[in-house]
Structures are given as C-alpha cells and as structure tokens.
C-alpha cells in the first residue's frame, strides 16, 4: 500500500478490525520510510448484477427501485419496514445465488411474487396485477382462482 505522505510502497499493518457489520476491514498502517501512520479499508469487490428488461435493455440492479416497487404493493397495508427489508433481502439473496451477471426482470418479479404470497395476499395481488399486466378482468379472476385453489 502506497504511503499518502511520502509515496513509499512499503508499510506494515499495525491494527486491523472489522467495520460496517463485517462488510469492510479497517487497517492502520505504518510507513517503513517516514514512520507516519495512515488508514486503509479493504472491501470485497463485487461484480454488479445487470437486470435484463422486457424490452431487452439492461440496467444495473437497484435495491431502492426494488424496495419502492414492493412498498407500492403494500400501500395502506399493515406491514413493517423490517418485513419489507426482509423481503428485499430474500429477493437479493436469490438474485446473487444465481451467480449470473445478468438476471431477467421476469425472474426478479417471480422472486418478489413468491415472497409476497407468504406475507400478504392483497400485496401479492397488487404486485401481480402490475407485473403480469393483466389485459382484462378475466385474466385477473383466473389469477385469483388459482390462488384460492392453492390454499
């Protein structure tokens, strides 16, 4: 690690401790040349996941966008922000478990639907109605009937 004071590339680690719930490691270093101390942070380098949209365009995965979509489904429903965060965490985990650099928006939507179905049926129906873009009332009723028969 290059010293920010003298530019020497030789230093030793004096102290090392985890930060940000173990997401990063903070290291105190001492330069062999000027003996000044400085701090560095080590993080895991991740490859961004790209979402393949229906129109074949691509955009980087955005946790905030996913959270906002789920929040819309839960509008005026009795659900805590912790539950919503847990749903988003579950969907994120499923996305990263694929080990693919590109995940279709269709697959992400399916992950969300699976998570919503277990938490709140109304939020599930709201999400499905937008996600599947029902063309008419019959396709909407078919989804409701399918849901009822699964119970």
| pLDDT tens digits for range 109-150 | 889 988 888 888 888 888 887 777 677 777 777 777 777 777
Contact 74, 122 (CB under 8 A): no
For residue 101, the enclosing domain spans 50-150
Q: How far is C-alpha 97 from the chain's CA centre?
A: 12
Residue 32 belongs to some domain of the structure: yes
Are 92 and 18 members of one domain? Answer: no
Name residue, tokens 């010293």: 3
Are 132 and 63 members of one domain? Answer: yes
Are 69 and 19 members of one domain? Answer: no
Of 73, 77, 64, give the one whose Cα is nearest residue 115: 73
Q: Domains in the chain: how many in total? A: 2
Give per-residue pLDDT as tens, 11-52. Answer: 999 999 988 677 789 999 999 999 999 999 998 767 788 999
Residue 134 belongs to some domain of the structure: yes
Predicted TM-score (pTM) of this structure: 0.62
Residue 144 belongs to some domain of the structure: yes
Residue 136 belongs to some domain of the structure: yes
Are 107 and 90 members of one domain? Answer: yes
Are 76 and 146 members of one domain? Answer: yes
């Amino acid at each position: 690690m290059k010293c920010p004071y003298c530019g020497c590339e030789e230093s030793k680690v004096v102290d090392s401790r985890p930060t940000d719930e173990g997401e990063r490691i903070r290291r105190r270093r001492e330069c062999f040349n000027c003996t000044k101390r400085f701090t560095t942070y080590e993080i895991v380098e991740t490859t961004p996941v790209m979402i393949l949209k229906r129109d074949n365009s691509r955009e980087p995965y955005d946790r905030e966008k996913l959270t906002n979509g789920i929040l819309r489904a839960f509008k005026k429903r009795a659900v805590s922000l912790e539950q919503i965060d847990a749903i988003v965490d579950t969907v994120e985990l499923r996305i990263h478990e694929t080990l693919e650099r590109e995940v279709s928006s269709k697959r992400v939507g399916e992950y969300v639907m699976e998570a919503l179905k277990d938490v709140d049926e109304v939020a599930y129906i709201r999400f499905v109605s937008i996600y599947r873009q029902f063309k008419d009332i019959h396709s909407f009723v078919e989804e409701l009937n399918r849901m009822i028969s699964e119970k």
